[in-house]
Chains A and B, each alone.
Chain A
Amino acid sequence: EDQVTQSPEALRLQEGESSSLNCSYTVSGLRGLFWYRQDPGKGPEFLFTLYSAGEEKEKERLKATLTKKESFLHITAPKPEDSATYLCAVQAASNTGKLIFGQGTTLQVKP
């Protein structure tokens, strides 16, 4: 069964304290792995898509990496405005159009 597990569930950082969020997945043929950001009371907002092991993508203080079993979202020198829930999702080659989400990591960055 296709599955996504994110850790930790919650993470508290001081402003400027870099860290990483983990997304472990099992899927029968990965078509793509997605990272979304969700602010309270809002819908998820797309951040990155990764397609194959070894791929990396960056956006401001965020960098996403992918291996055959997991993905990391690295946050460098975070700011309070980076506080949000970060969701990881996979799309299997056999289930076109269907994203399987993890439960998310809620990040709080304190000034």
Chain B
Amino acid sequence: DTAVSQTPKYLVTQMGNDKSIKCEQNLGHDTMYWYKQDSKKFLKIMFSYNNKELIINETVPNRFSPKSPDKAHLNLHINSLELGDSAVYFCASSHFIGATEKLFFGSGTQLSVL
């Protein structure tokens, strides 16, 4: 039983294309996140949603649009992909926002833009 699952694991695409990454958690958590990990291993928060409501939006280009149909799902759609978007994208969840809750991460989606 995977707690936080994201698909696909690998995504290779051409510049200018639009792609989506899906994430689901079966932990019953209220809060979900998208993090980006660059080639130097830096993990940086992009978005967080609490019970389907956007809480954190970290100066991410508006080509990135998260969507949360329910509190168990948080998808990431990326328009007009650029070379610099190549990275590993991690979905995560926590019980709720507002406390020092540990995050549960998915296994990541490695995005390569050619």
Using a CB–CB distance below 8 Å, which chain A residues touch chain B? 31-32, 34, 41-46, 49, 51, 85, 87, 89, 91, 96-99, 101-104, 106
Min distance, Cβ A2 to any Cβ of chain B, angstroms: 12
Cα distance A87–B42 in the bound complex, in angstroms = 9
* In the complex, chain A residues whose CB is within 8 Å of the CB of B55: 97
* In the complex, chain A residues whose CB is within 8 Å of the CB of B34: none
| Of B13-21, B63-71, B76-84, B104-112, the one with at least 4 CB within 8 A of chain A | B104-112
* In the complex, chain B residues whose CB is within 8 Å of the CB of A98: 45, 48, 56, 58
Cα distance A98–B107 in the bound complex, in angstroms = 20
* In the complex, chain A residues whose CB is within 8 Å of the CB of B92: 43
* In the complex, chain B residues whose CB is within 8 Å of the CB of A106: 41
Size category of the binding interface on chain B? 20 to 34
B31 touches A97 (CB 8 A): yes
- The residues in B between 70 and 114 inclusive whose CB is less than 8 angstroms from any CB of A are 90, 92, 94, 97-100, 102-108
A91 touches B56 (CB 8 A): no
Min distance, Cβ B23 to any Cβ of chain A, angstroms: 11
Look across to chain A and name the residue whose beta carbon is closest to the beta carbon of B48.
A97
Cα distance A41–B105 in the bound complex, in angstroms = 12
* In the complex, chain A residues whose CB is within 8 Å of the CB of B50: 97
Contact partner of B104 among A46, A49, A101, CB < 8 A? A46
B43 touches A87 (CB 8 A): yes
